[in-house]
């Protein structure tokens, strides 16, 4: 008895010692992965590359390999369970109904890449064969699907971390990666039913009889249908019982987890792979709802913190470097040929699809190179195949891991090339009014929402005509949201911008707008060239279409109506959120200067060419590039004989104690540079317009934002139109803190106050933003377009 107790104690002590060793190795792996990832940050390498490097190194340290040998079976269990969780979350994030919808651009790119890679891989199966025991159709399909796949979680993280996620090519790559990953994983899941189990090495090694195939097919189909029908009802009930803002009930969490585990385990009773069963369950679960988001968040956290360090240790242990035979040419063929097939297939596929979709060929190649990205699931399948003992030579043990590593390291170089091309295609010169010759022709794109904008737009044209020696070219364009009703009446011509709308209401509106503007031009249009245009699109793509139109027409100033309109009581209504979205997008991406006109009676002025009494216009100059742009525009308004312009310059009262204290909190270098540009610009303006008496001038010495606000309130009833720069004084102590109560940040601090609901009901406001160069693209914050 004593001997038995002693042996048990020794065994327990040994296990605790081994457990401690494994924990120390795990912690060393975590620290090493973070350290190498930090060192590779200047190279913009994704996290998975540093994990692979550390895993290969630590997995091949001799004394650690002896420790791994003792826990090899445990390693396998942890890998299977972790990969089940990985594939389950991947399935939840997929949308199976995309197969039933008309293919989008990213879907077409994904399908073309998969098809070309599949064809090339299938034709070269004999050269690619890692598996000498198996042959024929089974190897061809499984290996081709593996080479055609894309690790969408890895690719998404790469795109977002390299800061092109908001660009059109970034969105396209992420969408194409999701489609590619979903389709190839689905192909493997379905193929498992019909192909020999040991091709996948995820189940018992045996050829499937016809009855076994039928039984497994029925089990998987029943599981899929049950999940698709029952899970939405069950998860909707859990979500309703646990609304946002309240802790989820423990009993509901336990019940939900048990429900998911039960579904995943059902088909495995008939020898179906638990890993693929988890994926099939995930794609049938609802993606929306609190429960799904909770599951995705928690599992991803466990994978990142616990599973992935162990996973890459297991990968390093399986990829035994001592079995790599660099002297054998077959080793290098097996290393580079799969990578070459994946690259060739994806690039050819994206080039073909890109040509049909009208993409530039360099961008199509870049998309193809990014879609070859492989990740955790591909590593898992490769190592599982090796552990099954179906590889022909020992050198193949490490070859798949190195090949997968090669599909990752090139991504930062490809993205750098994308950004470089985007910079070249971005404007290299400023299209600002400040740089235009005042006597040159000013090209304006005047956007309208409807007939209500016509009077104010005509008045704007009138005051913008400039001196007798200058002229303006105005394109009047309606912004029309593309609805199903309007889309049914569209007719496309053979030329560019020849889309015709046959909707009766739109036709009548356009005819009335045209007649109103034409009547004005015929009567008082000296120096004004009037042309028509049209912007028809969905709200999401409207801003991009207007930008393209402005570039084609070489526009210098886009004028947009404010999204809120004045009611009969003088107040502004709630506005149209869609048009507000368009305005905000244009402020970010317009190829020229932009103005937003807040109309509160500006269109009610009659006898536009001879204002009686004089139309009083004020410009507020605090400082900054947008204020300088507004000043350049006012130089044209000043030539109108019916307009009396007053320039009001806000200056900091240096004698006030609050101003002196606040000055220490402002960046001196930035202020000095901006103030120098402001003084130079204002001196030229003062000499040209104010000295000759054409424009009135006054100064306001203010101490802080509170005095600025009070001064703005005093303008009530004094002026019909106030012109301001959007970000005028954005870094000034005179507006510091005004952003805290902004209702419409797109109008800037001064414009938002003047357009507020508690302000004057008869004061119109024109907010101007100077054209911003987009040559300094920084990625994530830039919604750039390159496709």
Residue 777 in this model has a pLDDT that exceeds 70: no
Helix 168-194 vs helix 274-284: angle between axes, to the nearest 10 degrees? 130
pLDDT tier at 139 (50, 70, 90 boundaries)?
Answer: low
Please compute the mean of the pLDDT values over residues 385-394 and round it to a whole number. Answer: 53
What is the three-class DSSP state of 623? coil
pLDDT tier at 133 (50, 70, 90 boundaries)?
Answer: very low
Q: pLDDT (tens digit, 9 = 90+) per residue, 705-762?
A: 788 888 888 887 788 888 998 886 655 777 776 766 777 888 888 888 888 777 777 7
CB 172 within 8 A of CB 390: no
Contacts of 182 (CB under 8 A, 6+ apart): 94, 95, 96, 98, 152, 283
With pLDDT > 70 as the criterion, what percentage of the chain qualifies? 82
CB 632 within 8 A of CB 736: no
CB 368 within 8 A of CB 350: yes
Strands 764-769 and 615-621: unpaired
Q: What sign has the CA pseudo-torsion 352, 355, 356, 358?
A: positive
Residue 169 in this model has a pLDDT that exceeds 50: yes
Residue of 15, 56, 666 lying closest to 322 (CA atoms): 56
Residue 784 in this model has a pLDDT that exceeds 70: no
How far apart (Å, rounded) are the C-alpha atoms in residues 271 and 43?
Answer: 45
CB 419 within 8 A of CB 165: no
Write phi, then psi, for 269 (nearest 5 degrees): -65, -20
How far apart (Å, rounded) are the C-alpha atoms in residues 415 and 30?
Answer: 28
Residue 512 in this model has a pLDDT that exceeds 50: yes
The Cβ of residue 407 has, within 10 Å, a number of other Cβ atoms equal to 25
Write phi, then psi, for 317 (nearest 5 degrees): -65, -40
Q: pLDDT (tens digit, 9 = 90+) per residue, 210-250?
A: 777 788 888 888 888 888 888 888 888 888 887 776 777 88
Helix (H) or strand (E) holding 535: strand 528-537
How far apart (Å, rounded) are the C-alpha atoms in residues 523 and 601?
Answer: 22
Residue 666 in this model has a pLDDT that exceeds 50: no
The answer to whether the peptide bond before residue 613 is cis (omega within 30 degrees of 0) is: yes
Residue 599 in this model has a pLDDT that exceeds 50: yes
How far apart (Å, rounded) are the C-alpha atoms in residues 233 and 242?
Answer: 14
Helix (H) or strand (E) holding 699: strand 696-702
pLDDT tier at 446 (50, 70, 90 boundaries)?
Answer: very high
Mean pLDDT for all residues in the chain: 79
pLDDT tier at 592 (50, 70, 90 boundaries)?
Answer: confident
Which pLDDT value is given to residue 775?
46
Q: pLDDT (tens digit, 9 = 90+) per residue, 307-361?
A: 889 888 888 888 878 777 777 787 787 788 888 888 898 999 899 888 888 788 8
Please compute the mean of the pLDDT values over residues 621-625 and round it to a whole number. Answer: 85
CB 116 within 8 A of CB 345: yes
Q: pLDDT (tens digit, 9 = 90+) per residue, 516-525?
A: 888 888 887 7
The Cβ of residue 192 has, within 10 Å, a number of other Cβ atoms equal to 25
How far apart (Å, rounded) are the C-alpha atoms in residues 5 and 10?
Answer: 9
Q: Ramachandran region of residue 436, left (φ > 0), alpha (ψ -120 to 50) or beta?
A: beta
Length of the chain: 787
Q: Dump the DSSP string for 361-394.
A: HHHHHHHHHHTT---HHHHHHHHHHHHTT-BSSG
Which pLDDT value is given to residue 571?
77
Q: pLDDT (tens digit, 9 = 90+) per residue, 264-298?
A: 877 777 778 888 888 888 888 888 888 888 888 88
Residue 202 in this model has a pLDDT that exceeds 70: no
CB 83 within 8 A of CB 150: no
Please compute the mean of the pLDDT values over residues 606-631 and round it to a whole number. Answer: 76
pTM, whole model, 2 decimals?
0.63
Would you give the DSSP letter of residue 325? Answer: -
Residue 663 in this model has a pLDDT that exceeds 80: no
The answer to whether the peptide bond before residue 552 is cis (omega within 30 degrees of 0) is: no
How far apart (Å, rounded) are the C-alpha atoms in residues 768 and 749?
Answer: 12
How far apart (Å, rounded) are the C-alpha atoms in residues 414 and 348?
Answer: 17
Residue of 574, 549, 528, 554 lying closest to 478 (CA atoms): 549
Helix (H) or strand (E) holding 79: helix 72-92
CA atoms within 13 A on the CB side of 700: 22
CB 734 within 8 A of CB 705: yes
Residue 579 in this model has a pLDDT that exceeds 50: yes
Q: Which of 47-61, 196-210, 212-226, 484-498 has the lowest mean pLDDT?
A: 196-210
Q: pLDDT (tens digit, 9 = 90+) per residue, 392-443?
A: 444 456 778 888 888 888 888 888 888 777 766 655 555 677 777 767 788 8
Which pLDDT value is given to residue 64?
77
CB 408 within 8 A of CB 48: yes
How far apart (Å, rounded) are the C-alpha atoms in residues 726 and 315?
Answer: 55
Please compute the mean of the pLDDT values over residues 115-140 and round it to a whole number. Answer: 65
Q: What sign has the CA pseudo-torsion 360, 361, 365, 368?
A: positive
Better-scored residue on pLDDT, 572 or 545: 545
What is the three-class DSSP state of 731? coil
Better-scored residue on pLDDT, 561 or 611: 561
Residue of 364, 372, 363, 359 lying closest to 348 (CA atoms): 364
Q: Which of 446-450, 502-506, 622-626, 741-745 has the highest mean pLDDT?
A: 446-450
CB 489 within 8 A of CB 480: no
How far apart (Å, rounded) are the C-alpha atoms in residues 155 and 189?
Answer: 21
How far apart (Å, rounded) are the C-alpha atoms in residues 191 and 322?
Answer: 34
Residue of 227, 283, 225, 356 lying closest to 99 (CA atoms): 283
Residue of 478, 432, 448 lying closest to 599 (CA atoms): 448
The Cβ of residue 367 has, within 10 Å, a number of other Cβ atoms equal to 29
Q: Which of 205-209, 585-589, 734-738 has the lowest mean pLDDT?
A: 205-209
Q: Which of 421-435, 441-455, 597-611, 674-688 has the highest mean pLDDT?
A: 441-455
Which pLDDT value is given to residue 639?
83
Better-scored residue on pLDDT, 167 or 397: 167
Q: Dump the DSSP string for 641-659.
A: TTEEEEEEEEEE-TTSHHH
Residue 699 in this model has a pLDDT that exceeds 70: yes
Please compute the mean of the pLDDT values over residues 371-392 and round it to a whole number. Answer: 75
In the chain, the N- to C-terminal Cα span, in Å, equals: 79
The CA distances from residue 98 to 107, 151, 306, 649, in Å, are 9, 18, 33, 58
How far apart (Å, rounded) are the C-alpha atoms in residues 128 and 382?
Answer: 13
Say if residue 232 is exposed, middle or buried (CB neighbours under 10 Å; 0-12, 13-18, 19+).
Answer: middle
How far apart (Å, rounded) are the C-alpha atoms in residues 104 and 107?
Answer: 5
How far apart (Å, rounded) are the C-alpha atoms in residues 648 and 627?
Answer: 11
* Partners of residue 144 on adjacent β-strands: none
Contacts of 119 (CB under 8 A, 6+ apart): 345
Residue 87 in this model has a pLDDT that exceeds 50: yes
Please compute the mean of the pLDDT values over residues 159-163 and round it to a whole number. Answer: 81
Would you give the DSSP letter of residue 772? Answer: P
CB 779 within 8 A of CB 164: yes
Would you give the DSSP letter of residue 303? Answer: I
């Amino acid at each position: 008895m004593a001997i038995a107790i002693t042996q048990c104690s020794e065994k327990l002590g040994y296990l605790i010692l081994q457990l401690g060793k494994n924990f120390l190795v795990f912690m060393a792996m975590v620290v090493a992965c973070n350290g190498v990832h930090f060192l590779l940050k200047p190279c913009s390498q994704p996290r998975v590359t540093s994990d692979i490097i550390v895993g290969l190194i630590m997995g091949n340290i001799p004394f650690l390999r002896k420790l791994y040998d003792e826990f090899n079976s445990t390693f396998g269990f942890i890998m299977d369970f972790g990969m089940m969780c990985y594939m389950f979350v991947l399935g939840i994030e997929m949308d199976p109904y995309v197969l039933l919808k008309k293919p989008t651009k990213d879907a077409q790119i994904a399908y073309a890449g998969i098809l070309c890679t599949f064809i090339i891989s299938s034709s070269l199966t004999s050269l690619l064969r890692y598996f000498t025991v198996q042959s024929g159709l089974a190897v061809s399909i499984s290996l081709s699907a593996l080479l055609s796949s894309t690790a969408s979680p890895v690719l998404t993280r790469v795109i977002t971390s390299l800061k092109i996620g908001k660009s059109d090519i970034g969105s396209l790559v992420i969408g194409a990666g999701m489609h590619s990953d979903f389709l190839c994983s689905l192909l493997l899941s379905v193929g498992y039913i019909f192909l020999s189990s040991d091709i996948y090495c995820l189940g018992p090694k045996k050829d499937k009889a016809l009855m076994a195939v039928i039984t497994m097919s029925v089990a998987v189909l029943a599981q899929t249908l049950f999940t698709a029908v029952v899970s939405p009802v069950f998860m909707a009930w859990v979500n309703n019982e646990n609304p946002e803002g309240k802790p989820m009930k423990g009993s509901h969490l336990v019940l939900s987890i048990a429900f998911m585990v039960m579904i995943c385990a059902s088909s495995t009773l008939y020898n179906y792979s638990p890993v693929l069963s988890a994926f099939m369950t995930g794609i049938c679960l609802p993606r929306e709802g609190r429960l799904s988001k909770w599951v995705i968040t928690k599992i991803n956290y466990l994978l990142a913190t616990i599973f992935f360090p162990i996973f890459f240790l297991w990968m390093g242990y399986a990829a035994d470097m001592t079995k790599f035979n660099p002297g054998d040419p077959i080793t290098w063929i097996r290393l580079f040929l799969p990578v070459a097939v994946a690259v060739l297939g994806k690039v050819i596929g994206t080039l073909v699809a890109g040509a049909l979709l009208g993409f530039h060929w360099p961008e199509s190649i870049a998309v193809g190179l990014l879609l070859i990205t492989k990740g955790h699931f591909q590593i898992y399948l490769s190592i599982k195949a090796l552990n099954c003992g179906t590889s022909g030579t020992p050198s193949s043990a490490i070859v798949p891991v190195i090949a997968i590593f090669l599909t990752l390291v090139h991504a930062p170089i490809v993205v750098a090339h994308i950004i470089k091309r985007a910079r070249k295609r971005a404007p290299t010169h400023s299209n600002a009014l400040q740089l235009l010759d005042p006597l040159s022709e000013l090209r304006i794109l005047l956007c309208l929402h409807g007939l209500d904008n016509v009077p104010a737009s005509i008045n704007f044209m009138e005051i913008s005509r400039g001196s007798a020696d200058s002229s303006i070219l105005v394109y009047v364009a309606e912004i029309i949201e593309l609805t199903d009703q309007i889309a049914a009446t569209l007719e496309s011509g053979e030329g560019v911008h020849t889309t015709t709308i046959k909707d009766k209401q739109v036709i009548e509106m356009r005819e009335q707008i045209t007649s109103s503007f034409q009547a004005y031009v015929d009567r008082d249009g000296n120096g004004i060239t009037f042309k028509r245009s049209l912007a028809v699109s969905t709200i999401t793509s409207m801003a991009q279409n207007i930008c393209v139109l402005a570039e084609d027409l070489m526009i210098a100033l886009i004028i947009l109506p404010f999204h809120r309109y004045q009611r009969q009581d003088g107040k502004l209504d709630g506005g149209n959120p869609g048009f507000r979205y368009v305005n905000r997008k244009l402020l970010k991406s317009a190829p020229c200067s932009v103005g937003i006109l807040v109309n509160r009676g500006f269109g009610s002025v009659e006898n536009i060419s001879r204002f009686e009494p004089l139309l009083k216009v004020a410009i507020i100059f605090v400082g900054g590039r947008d204020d300088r742009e507004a000043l350049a525009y006012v130089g044209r308004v000043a030539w109108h004989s019916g307009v009396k312009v007053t320039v009001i310059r806000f200056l900091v009262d240096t004698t006030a104690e609050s101003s002196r204290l606040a000055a220490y909190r402002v960046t001196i270098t930035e202020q000095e540079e901006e103030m120098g540009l402001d003084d130079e610009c204002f001196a030229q303006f003062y000499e040209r317009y104010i000295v000759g008496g054409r424009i009135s001038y006054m100064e306001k010495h203010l101490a802080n934002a509170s005095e600025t606000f009070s001064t703005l309130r005093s303008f009530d009833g004094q002026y019909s139109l106030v012109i301001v720069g959007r970000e005028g004084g954005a870094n000034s102590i005179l507006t510091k803190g005004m952003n805290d109560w902004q209702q419409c940040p797109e109008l800037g601090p001064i414009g938002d106050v003047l357009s507020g609901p508690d302000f004057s009901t008869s004061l119109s406001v024109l907010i101007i933003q100077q054209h911003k160069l987009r040559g300094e693209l920084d990625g994530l914050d830039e919604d750039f377009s390159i496709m």
